[in-house]
């Protein structure tokens, strides 16, 4: 189970953060918000896309009330946004659908953080399973995820 991958990753990197595990699913923004007890926007959802070569994943972590803005994505990455096919999610991210997170990923994975999360003191990304999360400041998220950079590629959901 990939929550164990995240726990090991935190331990190896001396990250002393409690991973929250729930008796209910937190696999969607709405379910995670209910499980944690926060507004959906504070759930840091991790979206997974193919690289140009389609041999690795680009992870974009964004606020729960945002979605990819295709024109901003294309302008930043120089290609059209193409989300990972379900059968490629676990091999390319190290985590199953519902638990994809920016921790403990394969070395070929690149993590970006969308600026939409900066309006919150803390956010709650998944921690490797469909019933886990961890509360982090944006600075902690940037550090622990080894994020490449903060970017602006999202827009509010309609």
97: CATH: 3.90.960.10
Backbone angles phi, psi at 98, to 5 degrees: 95, -20
Phi, psi of 91 (to 5 degrees): -60, -35
Helix (H, G, I), strand (E, B) or coil at 45: strand
At 121, list the tokens: 């003191």
Nearest Cα to Cα of residue 132 among 65, 58, 44? 44
The answer to the question of residue 158 being in a domain is no
| 155 occurs within a structural domain | no
Answer whether residue 43 is part of any domain: yes
Structural domain boundaries, residue 103: 2-149
Strand partners, 43: 124
pLDDT higher than 70, residue 1 = no
Q: What is the value of pTM for the model shown? A: 0.95
Cα atoms in the 13 Å half-sphere on the side-chain side of 22: 21
Domain-embedded: residue 110: yes
Q: What is the mean pLDDT of residues 86-91?
A: 96
Q: What is the pLDDT of residue 158?
A: 75
Which helix (DSSP H) or strand (DSSP E) does residue 125 occupy?
strand 122-125
- Total tally of structural domains belonging to the chain: 1
In a domain, 154, yes or no: no
Burial of 62 (0-12, 13-18, 19+ CB in 10 A): buried
pLDDT of 2 reads 82
**pLDDT tens digits, 40-82:** 999 999 999 999 999 999 999 999 999 999 999 999 999 999 9
């Amino acid at each position: 189970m990939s929550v164990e991958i995240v726990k090991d990753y935190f331990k190896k990197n001396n990250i002393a953060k409690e991973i929250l595990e729930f008796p209910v699913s937190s696999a969607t923004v709405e379910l995670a918000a209910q499980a944690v007890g926060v507004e959906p926007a504070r759930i840091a959802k991790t979206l997974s896309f193919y690289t140009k070569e389609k041999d690795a994943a680009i992870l974009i972590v964004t606020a729960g009330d945002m979605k990819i803005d295709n024109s901003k994505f294309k302008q930043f990455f120089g290609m059209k946004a193409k989300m990972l096919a379900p059968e490629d999610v676990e091999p390319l991210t190290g985590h199953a659908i519902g638990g994809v997170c920016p921790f403990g990923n394969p070395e070929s994975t690149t993590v970006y953080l969308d600026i939409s999360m900066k309006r919150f003191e803390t956010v709650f990304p998944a921690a490797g399973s469909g019933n886990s999360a961890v509360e982090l400041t944006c600075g902690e998220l940037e550090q622990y995820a080894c994020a490449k950079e903060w970017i602006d590629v999202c827009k509010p959901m309609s």
